[in-house]
């Protein structure tokens, strides 16, 4: 099993989710994250100037079988179309606590 993770712009999340649904992906996790910006931007908030050094993004996590991983990683990258980081991490075991299922059965 593999964990596919990607950091996306918030505006691209629905497009990526629709692309994954066409591949019959049912479960994924989305988290709000902040990523550093090179150089930052000067912004004005309530009359005060400050340096914006972090931008909001969405992290997508998806468990997949070894066979589906290359296709799913490619789907995420293509659907995101913009600056996206996709990485794949090997997962030794997954346990669904409610049912006690292990491995691919837990997906």
pLDDT at 87: 94
Which residue segments constitute the domains of the chain, with CATH numbers given? 2-106 (3.30.70.120)
Q: In this predicted model, what pLDDT tens digit does every residue of 53-89 receive, in sequence order?
A: 788 899 999 999 889 999 999 999 988 887 788 999 9
Q: In this predicted model, what pLDDT tens digit does every residue of 6-44 receive, in sequence order?
A: 999 999 999 999 999 998 887 899 999 998 877 767 778
Task: Report how far residue 101's alpha carbon sits from residue 41's, in angstroms, rounded to the nearest whole number.
Answer: 48
CA distances from 26 to 17, 38, 42, 54, 63 (A): 10, 35, 41, 31, 10
pTM value > 0.85: no
Task: Report how far residue 64's alpha carbon sits from residue 24's, in angstroms, rounded to the nearest whole number.
Answer: 11
């Amino acid at each position: 099993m593999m964990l596919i993770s990607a950091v996306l712009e918030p505006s691209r999340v629905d497009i990526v989710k629709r692309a994954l649904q066409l591949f019959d992906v049912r479960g994924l996790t989305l988290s709000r994250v902040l990523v550093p910006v090179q150089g930052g931007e000067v912004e004005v908030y309530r009359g005060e100037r400050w340096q914006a050094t972090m931008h909001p993004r969405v992290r997508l996590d998806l468990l997949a079988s070894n066979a589906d991983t290359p296709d799913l990683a490619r789907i995420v990258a293509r659907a995101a179309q913009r600056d996206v980081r996709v990485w794949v991490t090997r997962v030794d075991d997954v346990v669904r606590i409610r049912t006690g299922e292990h491995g691919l059965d837990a997906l």
